[in-house]
Amino acid sequence: MGAKGHEDSGQHGDGPAKAERKLSKKKYEKELARLQVELVKLQEWIRFKGLRFAILIEGRDAAGKGA
């Protein structure tokens, strides 16, 4: 549930058009690389602190299905 007591649909009142916009392949790959760097930073911080951490990643739509 979101902070305001309802499920966060990712739209925030802007309607579905903004949430469904597709990135160009170049922008997608750039953002993916940036997020991967952030994930590695998080992993190193957790390792440095000696913590344990679990990440649950949920797929959306047909992500990861098929060939």
Q: Whole-model pTM?
A: 0.51
Rounded to an integer, what distance in angstroms lies between the CA atom of residue 12 and that of residue 3?
Answer: 12
pLDDT classification of 53: cutoffs 50, 70, 90:
confident
Supply the pLDDT for residue 7.
47
Supply the pLDDT for residue 34.
97
Helix locations, 2-57, DSSP H: 16-20, 25-49
- Both tokens of 3, joined, read 């902070």
Greater model confidence, 60 or 18: 60
55-63 long-range contacts, Cβ below 8 Å, gap at least 24?
A: none
% of the chain exceeding 90 in pLDDT = 43
% of the chain exceeding 70 in pLDDT = 58
Rounded to an integer, what distance in angstroms lies between the CA atom of residue 2 and that of residue 10?
Answer: 10
Which amino acid would we find at residue 47?
R
